[in-house]
Amino acid sequence: MDPLAIPEIVIGRLPLYLRTLDLLASQGQTVASSQELGSRLGITSTQIRKDLSYFGEFGKQGTGYDIQYLREQLRSILQVDRCWDVALVGAGDLGHALVNYADFERRGFSIAAVFDKDRQKIGRRIERFEVLDAVTLPEVIKERRVQIAIIAVPAGEAQEVADMLVNAGIKAILSYAPITVTLPEHVRVHTIDPIRGLQSMTYYLNPDQS
Amino acid sequence: MDPLAIPEIVIGRLPLYLRTLDLLASQGQTVASSQELGSRLGITSTQIRKDLSYFGEFGKQGTGYDIQYLREQLRSILQVDRCWDVALVGAGDLGHALVNYADFERRGFSIAAVFDKDRQKIGRRIERFEVLDAVTLPEVIKERRVQIAIIAVPAGEAQEVADMLVNAGIKAILSYAPITVTLPEHVRVHTIDPIRGLQSMTYYLNPDQS
DNA sequence: TAGATTGTTAATCGATTAACAATC
DNA sequence: TAGATTGTTAATCGATTAACAATC
């Protein structure tokens, strides 16, 4: 099946399904119905079955899904049955938090190198990494054929860093800078902006606060 | 207009518009068309005009939008023309990064207190905050009538923390724990899971990596 | 067998966009 | 006036869901 024939919104939900199955597996559960997954995620069972049906038939009537098997299938579909090297740009507080984030490894990613352009930070250690000079970024990324990067620099530097990453061959970027970066369309970008989430919740809040 | 009559997906885009207008304003620009906003955000100008039309008429034919005026209007709609107190739970690396995140203040939020349950962390300082014992969370939140909280604790503790927050009166939660927390429907939750974003990009990546 | 649940079709629902009159 | 752009309607497009046969 052509990967692009499947709606992006469906692809966006698969990691949610996988995450939920991981949780159930860690609790020792071996089988789950679309009903159970749905109620845990707050979506309908029909939607889950429909989403999965784009890729094949993974369940058993009357029973549900074998958790182990469906996890394997989803990992294969999402290509996280391998481990992807990730370049991290920005060795500030957020960079530190990301280096220490244990979930990356468990879920298919491994930080391969940490860069910063600040003289104060270059050469310092963050856990197992030495912070590398950002000018060496292109060669390191090219040499190691890294395809994924995380941007954890201030908003004002993010576009410049993104351009540099793309020139070095990066194909997917997770950006923590609260701006919309503009890139060639063959490069995928996900932006994490915590304020965006907060601001769309305050819309619904009661105005009376002390 | 009844706030609930407007599609949530529209509300979700307003912070994007505001963020872009903030950027343009900081560059000294005074007027912007829906066309310009759209091309910066990668969405159509029609969609922007349609979204804004739920709330009123803010533009001028032939000219576009007065940036200053539209910012004020959007801030008012989103209720970020005031500053909201936010309780932060979790004083680890991520908590540190959030305390130091300058954008909160500029965009309508102010961290009011930091909590942790770890004896090692309680009493320590993070910038201007003393880390408070999580058992004091209900009283502090109730007393200060805080409505918003950020969860920055490990996944295994997140549901418990969320329940505690809701009992204390919290109405909106931004969670960095990679699980789906289950809460009463009058409470809004936004979950930030960086791996989710990465996993939906690897789907499209070329499998050949060194 | 009876009960449960899948996978899929067709209907419904909702969001996006093309088109355009209004007007600055 | 001519050109540009808004606000809005109606058409289109795409996503969700109800319904149900198949089957474990």
CATH code at B37?
1.10.10.10
Q: For residue A175, is pLDDT > 80?
A: yes
**Straight-line distance from the first to the last Cα atom of chain A, in angstroms, rounded to the nearest whole number:** 56
Cα–Cα distance, B86 to B89 (Å, whole number): 10
Position B2 confidence tier, pLDDT thresholds 50, 70, 90: confident
Q: For residue B5, is pLDDT > 80?
A: yes
Q: Are residues A64 and A91 in the same domain?
A: no
In the sheet that holds A188-191, the strands lie side by side as: A125-126, A129-133, A109-116, A84-89, A148-151, A172-175, A188-191
In a domain, B132, yes or no: yes
pLDDT by residue (tens digit) across B154-185?
Answer: 999 999 999 999 999 999 999 999 999 999 99
Tokens of B136: 């004091």
CATH code at A170?
3.40.50.720
Residue B80 forms contact with A (CB below 8 Å): yes
Q: Are residues B205 and A3, on separate chains, in Cβ contact within 8 Å?
A: no
For residue B210, the model assigns a pLDDT of 46
- CA B203 vs. chain centroid, Å, equals 27
For residue A2, the model assigns a pLDDT of 72
Q: For residue B3, is pLDDT > 90?
A: no
Q: For residue A1, is pLDDT > 60?
A: no
Cα–Cα distance, B203 to B210 (Å, whole number): 17
**Mean pLDDT along residues B146-150:** 98
Residue B94 forms contact with A (CB below 8 Å): yes
Task: For residue B143, say whether its CB is under 7 Å from any atom of strand D.
Answer: no
- Looking at the structure of chain A, the number of domains it has is 2
Q: How far is B47 from chain A (nearest CA, A)?
A: 17
Structural domain boundaries, residue A32: 3-77
Q: Are residues A178 and B14, on separate chains, in Cβ contact within 8 Å?
A: no
Q: Are residues B91 and B182 in the same domain?
A: yes
Residue B168 forms contact with A (CB below 8 Å): no
The pTM of the full predicted model, rounded to 2 decimals, is: 0.96
Q: How far is B149 from chain A (nearest CA, A)?
A: 10
Last residue of a domain, one of A33, A53, A77: A77
φ and ψ of B84, to 5 deg: -95, 135
Q: Which of A80, A155, A200 is the closest to B15 by Cβ? A: A200
A111 - beta bridge partners? A86
Q: For residue A4, is pLDDT > 90?
A: no
Q: For residue A210, is pLDDT > 60?
A: no
In a 10 Å sphere around its CB, with 0-12 CB exposed, 13-18 middle and 19+ buried, how is residue A183 labelled?
middle
Residue A183 forms contact with B (CB below 8 Å): no
